[in-house]
């Protein structure tokens, strides 16, 4: 069964939750490696680098699965990913998930801190370092690619969606908004099933995955991340370990991380970011034919 849909981003916009919900549907297959990053060859990430290794992720998909896909949040931002997908899977459908870019940038910084790609804890300082990092300066040792730290570029969602529409017909693109997913998860879930042409499984519970978390011990954070990737590679690429494990990596992850409430953005910084993203938000509003007035509010949403 060939892949026929892709959740392509954006980061911190609810993709993990949606992918988890869809993976539990009896007629949808999503591999356990949620983000292969295979087609975003212009962004060095992950460990799935060969075509055979990528296809191997879908070995367990069969005729019962009317929808077969994956979720890599780099694909919307990447300039290489969608053209490459179109070449291999020309009828593929794309799910795009969007969010207030101010909140997305703040949450993305939080995630990169947890993954040890980022080492500047203060978001204001990290935001202001974007131009330096584009030039390859002040990049943390463990960061796979400095482009990951370009928060202004990653959160230009209007420009990215506009570029997608120049490559893919709109009827093959479903756009979901984070705010809508929070308020009416059942309604947005059913919309997604209809888009993927699979029947409603009656799901009524919509737990949140990948909430704000932090490392308990930053000194061993990268080691834990490397263990996770190494075990995943051994399971899904080399086949050294069985795919059905005992959950040791997930246990280590639970022990090494803790939930936290993300501090409110300082009002002056939020206002600065709103001003920065204003033109791009307007572009997004025009593309989608709807307005996002709360995205320009000076209070935390």
Prediction pTM value: 0.88
H-run or E-run covering 134:
helix 130-134
Answer for the pair 224, 216: CB distance below 8 angstroms, yes or no: no
pLDDT attached to residue 230: 65
**pLDDT value, residue 178:** 97
Which helix (H) or strand (E) segment is 145 a member of?
A: none
Kindly report the backbone phi and psi dihedral angles of residue 9, in degrees, each rounded to the nearest multiple of 5, phi listed first.
130, -175
Residue for token pair 């409110």 = 264
Pick the CATH number of 5-212+261-296 from 3.40.190.10, 3.40.30.10, 3.30.70.270, 3.40.50.300: 3.40.50.300
Helix (H, G, I), strand (E, B) or coil at 11: coil
Structure confidence at residue 143 (pLDDT): 86
Check residue 2 and give its pLDDT. 86
What pLDDT score was predicted for residue 142?
82
pLDDT for residue 112: 92
Find out whether 97 and 289 touch, Cβ atoms under 8 Å: no
CB 74 within 8 A of CB 40: yes
* Residue 11 and residue 108 in contact, taking contact as beta carbons nearer than 8 Å: yes
Radius of gyration of the chain (CA): 19
What is the structure's pLDDT at 32? 86
Identify the pLDDT of residue 116: 82
Q: Identify whether the C-beta of residue 178 lies closer than 8 Å to the C-beta of residue 284.
A: no
For 58-68, write each residue's pLDDT tens digit: 999 999 999 99
CA distance 93 to 235: 28
Q: Give the per-residue pLDDT at 18.
A: 97
Q: Which residues of the chain are modeled with pLDDT < 70?
A: 1, 210-260, 299-301
Domain boundaries, given as residue ranges, for the chain? 5-212+261-296
Instruction: Report the distance separating Cα 260 and Cα 254, nearest Å.
Output: 13
Contact 192, 199 (CB under 8 A): no
């Amino acid at each position: 069964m060939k892949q026929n849909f892709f959740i392509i981003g954006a980061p911190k916009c609810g993709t993990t939750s949606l992918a988890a919900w869809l993976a539990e549907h009896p007629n949808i297959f999503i591999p356990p490696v949620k983000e292969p990053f295979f087609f975003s060859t212009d962004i060095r990430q992950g460990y799935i680098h060969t075509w055979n290794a990528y296809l191997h992720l879908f070995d367990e998909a069969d005729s019962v699965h009317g929808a077969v896909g994956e979720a890599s949040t780099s694909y919307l931002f990447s300039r290489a990913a969608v053209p490459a997908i179109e070449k291999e899977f020309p009828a593929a459908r794309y799910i795009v998930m969007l969010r207030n870019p101010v909140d997305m940038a703040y949450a993305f910084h939080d995630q990169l801190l947890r993954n040890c790609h980022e080492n500047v804890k203060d978001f204001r300082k990290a935001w202001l370092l974007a131009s330096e990092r584009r030039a390859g300066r002040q990049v943390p040792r463990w960061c796979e690619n400095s482009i990951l730290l370009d928060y202004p570029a990653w959160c230009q969602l209007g420009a990215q969606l506009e570029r997608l529409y120049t490559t893919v017909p709109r009827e093959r693109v479903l756009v979901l908004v984070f705010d809508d997913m929070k308020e009416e998860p059942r309604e947005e879930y059913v919309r997604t099933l209809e888009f993927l042409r699979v029947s409603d499984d009656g799901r009524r519970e919509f737990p949140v995955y990948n909430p704000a978390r932090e490392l308990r011990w930053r000194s061993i954070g990268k080691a834990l991340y490397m263990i996770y990737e190494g075990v995943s590679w051994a399971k899904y690429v080399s086949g050294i370990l069985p795919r059905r494990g005992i959950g040791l990596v997930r246990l280590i992850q639970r022990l090494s991380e803790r939930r936290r409430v993300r501090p409110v953005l300082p009002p002056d910084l939020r206002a600065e970011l709103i001003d920065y993203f204003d033109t791009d938000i307007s572009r997004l509003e025009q593309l989608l034919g709807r307005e996002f007035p709360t995205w320009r509010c000076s209070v935390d949403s």
